[in-house]
């Protein structure tokens, strides 16, 4: 077929269901598949679920076996449609609710496999909260486990998004300001979801986000390849802090395009592979995974420019099973270091170590010729005092601290 959405090139679908699920098994990832509600049929989606997860005798299960996979896969996350407000069908919220219920009904649980069914969310530009309200009102919780949210940070505008590597402070500030809109979007989604689901049975699935710039020169515009700098690391860390702080509702948060597309974490060139500054943020933040959120409040200076102001520092905190506290701190200020004083309730810090992601140049990025231009290093500018922790965050830096201590009353 011709891929009319992305690049206009011939797509032979040689990387299909088997290859994708095999890759997920190899790297230990939980697969997430999105079914085609826009132009596909209920039967097509139903048979795909059966093909992947059914262990009995059926035409789909037998076809899977003929194609080389005897046992079914365990598949949890299943999207019922994608961006159906736009490229997925240009539907109204009311129409999509009816279609969602119809399609989701036939996405069945086979054997021990239990699907976590995710409904498509609304357009974030402009924001349409009516859509999520209709979803929460119209779809019962037993038929929908999550609602997705997509939001991309575009520094300039959709016709000229700006360069990934050539930008001034004004464009940098615009990027950080628009990145901060994610807090408003998540909060407004949570507010409406709480109204219809106070027990928080339905998760908020932020399954597409990141920075979106103009493609790199001399590349196919449809492939959406862009470089990845310290600016991207700062927005990635800011977004992850937002998601952490809403962990009671946000159950998944993916950068969807992970290799060579948009704010990717990996670049490849034939057999060669490098990681990006965004990858290093993910690596630093993994200490929060499977930990318990520690609610935090922060007073911070503002980063001001041309009459606008945004908080200079953002953070999130968690405690792991070993009793270690982790703090992820981001200073987005373009020019000024920020002093941070941190006190704890019910915890006495004894020792603190850390890692920092920082570069003198905000445009710094990794290339195949220089793959380690941006990477983490030990952070030592932190001290433990009687009143808590004190540290100084350089301008445009990401710091993750590990704090050992003792729980109090």
Is the pTM higher than 0.85? The answer reads yes
Non-local (6+) Cβ contacts of 239 within 8 A are 179, 182, 209, 210, 253
Non-local (6+) Cβ contacts of 117 within 8 A are 78, 80, 104, 107, 143, 144, 145, 146
Give the residue numbers marked as catalytic.
Answer: 83, 208
Rounded Cα distance between 121 and 101, Å, is 14
CB 368 within 8 A of CB 274: yes
Q: Could you tell me which of 362, 371, 334, 397 has the C-alpha nearest to residue 166?
A: 362
pLDDT tens-digit profile of 228-268? 999 999 999 999 999 999 999 999 998 888 999 999 999 99
pLDDT tens-digit profile of 367-407? 999 999 999 999 999 999 877 899 999 999 999 999 998 77
Phi, psi of 282 (to 5 degrees): -60, -40
Q: Which domains does the chain have, with CATH numbers?
A: 17-290 (3.20.20.80), 302-407 (2.60.40.1180)
Q: Could you tell me which of 255, 247, 248, 147 has the C-alpha nearest to residue 204?
A: 147
How many residues would you count in the chain? 409
pLDDT tens-digit profile of 61-109? 999 999 999 999 999 999 999 999 998 999 999 999 999 999 999 999 9
Does the N-terminal peptide bond of residue 126 adopt cis geometry, omega within 30 degrees of 0?
yes
Rounded Cα distance between 383 and 133, Å, is 47
């Amino acid at each position: 077929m011709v891929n009319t959405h992305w690049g206009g090139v011939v797509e032979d679908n040689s990387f299909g269901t088997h290859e994708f699920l095999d890759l997920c098994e190899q790297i230990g990832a939980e697969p997430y598949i999105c079914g085609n509600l826009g132009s596909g049929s209920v039967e097509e989606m139903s048979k795909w679920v059966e093909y992947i997860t059914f262990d009995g005798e059926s035409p789909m299960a037998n076809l899977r076996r003929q194609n080389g996979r005897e046992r079914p896969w365990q598949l949890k996350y299943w999207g019922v449609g994608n961006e159906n407000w736009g490229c997925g069908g240009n539907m109204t919220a009311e129409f999509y609710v009816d279609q969602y219920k119809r399609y989701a009904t036939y996405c069945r649980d086979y054997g021990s496999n239990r699907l976590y069914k995710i409904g498509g969310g609304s357009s974030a530009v402009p924001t349409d909260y009516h859509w999520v309200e209709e979803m929460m009102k119209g779809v019962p919780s037993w038929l929908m486990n999550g609602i997705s949210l997509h939001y991309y940070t575009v520094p300039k505008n959709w016709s000229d998004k700006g360069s990934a590597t050539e930008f001034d402070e004004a464009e940098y500030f615009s990027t950080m300001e628009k990145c901060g809109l994610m807090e408003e979007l998540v909060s407004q989604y949570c507010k409406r979801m709480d109204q219809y689901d106070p027990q928080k049975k339905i998760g908020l699935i932020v399954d597409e986000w990141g920075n979106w710039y103009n493609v790199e020169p001399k590349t196919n515009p449809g492939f959406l390849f862009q470089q990845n700098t310290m600016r991207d690391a700062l927005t990635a860390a800011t977004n992850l802090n937002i998601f952490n702080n809403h962990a009671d509702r946000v159950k998944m948060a993916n950068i969807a395009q992970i290799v060579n597309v948009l704010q990717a974490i990996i670049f490849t060139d034939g057999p060669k592979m490098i990681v990006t500054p965004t990858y290093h943020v993910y690596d630093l933040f993994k200490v929060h995974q499977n930990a318990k959120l520690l609610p935090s409040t922060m007073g911070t200076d503002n980063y001001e420019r041309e009459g606008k102001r945004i908080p200079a520092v953002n953070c999130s905190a968690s405690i792991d099973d070993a009793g270690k506290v982790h703090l992820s701190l981001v200073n987005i200020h373009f020019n000024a270091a920020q002093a941070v004083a941190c006190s704890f309730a019910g915890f006495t810090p004894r020792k603190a170590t850390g890692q920092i992601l920082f570069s003198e140049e905000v445009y710094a990025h990794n290339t195949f010729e220089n793959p380690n231009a941006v990477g983490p290093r030990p952070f030592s500018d932190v001290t433990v005092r009687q009143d808590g922790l004190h540290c100084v965050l350089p301008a445009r830096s990401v710091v993750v601290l590990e704090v050992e201590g003792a729980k109090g009353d």
